Amino acid sequence: MAALIKLGQMPVVQRCVWNHFNKVTRSISTSKKNSDTATTTVDSSSSTEDKNWVSYGFDYYDKNEDTSAHNASFFFSVTLCLVFGSFAFAYAPDVHRRDWTQREAYLELRRREKAGLPLIDPNYIDPKKVKLPSESELADVEIII
């Protein structure tokens, strides 16, 4: 999340140009000779306030923007996704109807027990209704078991 916000605000080319122009070069002369000049680089992003501030990774230059983006991303990811997502998953209706099929199976077993029928009938379909081919029709067919 932090990387998406950071990259969305500052593309690669802009980052390269920004880092190049962000450094300020100042010359300090201690002698009258031009060859004895020393240069230092001062980063303009360092502020006098909050020197010990460490960024969360959302914005490296503005503390308020960084904190706001950090709080918002954790609110949405933890509160909305984890808490409400878990609640919705736990209390969602049974879409695969597993409870219904198990309840129907118990009712069918109870009905068969009361009627004195076997619990599982070997002839699921009445054998009189099944039309099988005759022996002459099966004479040329190879039967693989």
Can you give the pTM of this predicted structure? 0.34
pLDDT of residue 112: 94
> What is the per-residue pLDDT across 127-138, written as a single tens digit (0 to 9) for each?
899 998 888 888
pLDDT of residue 87: 92
Q: Are 58 and 65 in contact (CB under 8 A)?
A: yes
Q: Are 59 and 65 in contact (CB under 8 A)?
A: yes
Q: At what angle do helices 63-74 and 2-9 cross, to 10 degrees?
A: 140
Q: Which residues contact 130 (CB under 8 A, 6 or more apart)?
A: none
The DSSP bridge partners found for residue 43 are 23
On the question of pLDDT at 19 being above 80, the answer is no
> What is the per-residue pLDDT across 82-101, written as a single tens digit (0 to 9) for each?
899 899 999 998 888 888 99
pLDDT of residue 49: 63
Question: Count of alpha carbons within 13 Å of 137, Cβ hemisphere only?
Answer: 4
Tokens describing residue 45: 């992003």
